[in-house]
Structure 1
Amino acid sequence: MKQTLNYFAYGSNLHPLRLQSRIGVCQLQAVAQLKGAQLCFHKAGLDASGKCDIVLAAEADSSVWGVVYQISPEQKRILDEYESLGKGYQILNTEVVSGDNQSLSVYTYQAMGEFIDPQLRPFDWYHEFVLQGICFHQFPSEYQELIRAVKMIEDPDKERSARYQALLREIRESLPGKQAD
């Protein structure tokens, strides 16, 4: 039997096409919540914009919605290149609760303290990756509204923005009726 890991995606990797563009096809296991946590866009990206982060020990009634994907150890190594190694994220092993109230052991990425800057804002394309994933998985409308309310900025690098906008167009066109505004 092939070994798999439970990866909890909560930010720009939520949408399966975005994650697939990075690590290849993987299996969606469950929509889940990390209770007692809050989603923030304050992790300093290499591009000087705000990226998603999980803040633990937030208000007891808050939670971060995400998706558990089963990935291979090789896919994790690839994802580590995008997320953790020297780029400001560390591995967080934790428990999430699925929609059917099952507890799942997962790993995810959390910003290291020295990479947190509350003044940062996400680029518009990054924010849309997160929003498209949230809408695709049909997270609760209150959570969608919280994410829609996040202030964002335009990416000054037009080439980078065009590259990501091309993938976002593919995502929007993939499932009519499920895309974000």
Structure 2
Amino acid sequence: MSPSSLMEQVDRTQVINYFAYGSNMNPVRMRERGVLFYSRKLLILPGYSLKFNKTVSSPNAGAANIVTNAEGLVEGILYQITLKGMLNLDRYEHYPAEYDRVTLRVSNQGKNDIEIKTYIAHPHKTRDGLKPTKSYLDHLLEAEDLMSEDYYNQLKIVETLD
């Protein structure tokens, strides 16, 4: 059964708006994690900045995290996923041990506000001075088809660990 026909069988009232700003911006990675999605589009989250300050098992390597910043904005991917997909992500994102799953309200490009779910690293799981690995950063760059050129170019010049 194809992923699209599987999605047609899911009750659309149970859809979750999930905002990915890190490696889950890569749709291939989402599928590998068992997360089927109805849609995938750009969402800009104001009031936050992207940092690679989430500690991981590799020393000095950092994963993506968002931190509040009144002047900031984060471009990411808004996926519409199922509850099962969200539970799969919980496992991969080490929720609740390392990330908290939060609900935020954001403007939907001038339309009504929408509620989104995303992950924010627990403060005790963050550290300044970390850098993403090139392979990790490449997952973010896989969203080039939806990102603004400016944001993509900012990501492209992020210094990596390797």
CA displacement 1:103-132 (0-9 Å, x = unmatched)? 221010001100111111111100111112
Residue 113 of structure 2 is matched in structure 1 by 103
Write the distance in 2 (CA, Å) between the matches of 1:9 and 1:25. 14
Equivalent residue letter for 1:27 = Y
**CA distance 1:102–1:89, change in 2 (3 Å):** same
Q: Please say if residues 103 and 116 of structure 2, whose CA atoms lie closer than 8 Å, have aligned partners that are also in contact.
A: yes
CA RMSD of aligned residues (A): 1.8
TM-score with structure 1 length normalisation?
0.76
Write the distance in 2 (CA, Å) between the matches of 1:64 and 1:75. 23
In structure 1, the gaps of 5 or more residues are 155-181
Deviates more, 1:103-112 or 1:145-154: 145-154
Write the distance in 2 (CA, Å) between the matches of 1:145 and 1:125. 17
**CA distance 1:144–1:102, change in 2 (3 Å):** farther
TM-score with structure 2 length normalisation?
0.84
Q: Is 1:30 paired with 2:41?
A: yes
Instruction: From the two aligned structures, give the one with the greater helix fraction.
Output: 1
Residue 62 of structure 2 is matched in structure 1 by 50
Write the distance in 2 (CA, Å) between the matches of 1:82 and 1:70. 18
**CA distance 1:140–1:102, change in 2 (3 Å):** farther
Q: Please say if residues 39 and 53 of structure 1, whose CA atoms lie closer than 8 Å, have aligned partners that are also in contact.
A: yes
Partner of 1:143, secondary structure, is helix
Residue 93 of structure 1 is matched in structure 2 by 103
Partner of 1:146, secondary structure, is helix
Partner of 1:54, secondary structure, is strand
Write the distance in 1 (CA, Å) between the matches of 2:41 and 2:114. 9
Following superposition, the deviation at residue 29 of structure 1 comes to 4.9
Following superposition, the deviation at residue 142 of structure 1 comes to 1.8
Identity of aligned residues (%): 27
Write the distance in 1 (CA, Å) between the matches of 2:145 and 2:62. 22
Equivalent residue letter for 2:115 = S
Write the distance in 2 (CA, Å) between the matches of 1:70 and 1:117. 31
Aligned pairs, number: 150
Q: Is 1:129 paired with 2:142?
A: no
Following superposition, the deviation at residue 85 of structure 1 comes to 2.5
Write the distance in 1 (CA, Å) between the matches of 2:31 and 2:132. 22
Provide runs of 4+ in structure 1 moved above 4 Å.
none
Write the distance in 1 (CA, Å) between the matches of 2:96 and 2:104. 21
Partner of 2:33, secondary structure, is helix
Following superposition, the deviation at residue 71 of structure 1 comes to 1.2
Following superposition, the deviation at residue 102 of structure 1 comes to 4.2
Equivalent residue letter for 2:45 = L
Residue 5 of structure 2 is matched in structure 1 by none
Q: Is 1:7 paired with 2:7?
A: no
Write the distance in 2 (CA, Å) between the matches of 1:10 and 1:33. 10
